[in-house]
Amino acid sequence: MMKGFAAGLWVFAESAEKFGSYVGTNPVRKQIEMAASVPGLKGVELISPLHIDLKNARDVKGWLDDAGLEPVSVNPYVWTEPTWKYGAFTSPDPTVRQQAIDRGKEAVEIGHIIGARRMCLWPGEDGWDYHFQADYRRLWELEAEGVRQIALHDPETRIGVEYKLHEPRTHMLISNAAKAALLGEELGLPNVGGYLDFGHALMAREVAAESVVVLARRNRLMGVHVNDNYGLGDDDIVVGSVHFWEMVEFLLTLDEVGYDGWLTLDLVPKREEVVAACAHSIHALQVYLGLIKHLDRAALRAAQADMDALKVQRLIHDMLGQGVPA
């Protein structure tokens, strides 16, 4: 059973730069207060050191407690800054690589303080922009070693690599669900897997529901971000605004595989009021979760066993009408 609805604290930063500081015009305590005002929101993901560090961790934990919010994860900031221009874990500079590893280990330590044993690791600068620019063998070796060191720092902290096809690099190294799962398998560490962002799955031309299965089959599904986009870029618009059927199938599959984590909003409202955008997204998720309760799953499985597309279509449309015949 899923834990409930969460949001990245960065959603409430109202930053002018999508990949920037995520602090924006709102200080951290204000962001927490805004998150707490969203109906149904019970958890938040934090970025270290932007929202939280070893010095203020106990203060932030107190603010979260006062707001009635649970810390879901502590995610190290290893992108955008000039330091990571040529990569974080895959940087040509060993000093920079060590800084990225140390930042990951520090996020683990912060998690110990506030009670979050999960990390969404987004190596957004680890990749390349041109053919022949990268030695792919070397990149994979460096990425695996960096993640390995963080994962071994605390085997109880579950680390999900948030894969993405591109942006800000033209090519990210860990670009799809299979690569995220492969990294965990290669390392042989049970606490390494993928953090599945619904919008990133769309960008990778994946069927998000299948990506759930790819990761869950090997117990590599570490967390989930929800949003929407038009498939070409990471628009991070409100849930269900474009891909209705894909989202319903995604939620159904999460339930089928027994996903027991959070559904975390990862939105970047550009013109919409932030709290309202989050409230709408949670309402949409609640509607979709309610819909699948009306789905005849036994009949669905029987139709799927025969690969009978028309029977499946009838079943899911009956679900919309709660079984009312056409």
**pLDDT digits 0-9 by tens, 276-315:** 999 999 999 999 999 999 999 999 999 999 999 999 999 9
**What's residue 17's pLDDT?**
60
**pLDDT digits 0-9 by tens, 160-184:** 999 999 999 999 999 999 999 999 9
Place of tokens 């603010």: 63
Q: Is 70 helix (H, G, I), strand (E, B) or coil?
A: strand
**pLDDT confidence tier of residue 1, bands split at 50, 70 and 90:** confident
Helices 28-36, 57-67: inter-axial angle, 10-degree rounding = 20
| C-alpha atoms less than 13 angstroms from C-alpha of 170 in its C-beta half-sphere | 6
Q: What percent of the chain has pLDDT over 70?
A: 95
All CATH 3.20.20.150 domain ranges in the chain, comma separated: 4-293
160 vs 169: CA distance, rounded Å: 20
Task: Among 14-23, 30-39, 78-87, 266-275, name the one with the lowest average pLDDT.
Answer: 14-23
Q: What is the pTM of this model?
A: 0.96
**pLDDT digits 0-9 by tens, 118-138:** 999 999 999 999 999 999 999
CATH architecture designation of domain 4-293: Alpha-Beta Barrel (3.20)
List residues bridging with 192 in a β-sheet.
Answer: 159
Residue 12 burial (CB count, 10 A): 27
Place of tokens 């269900």: 240
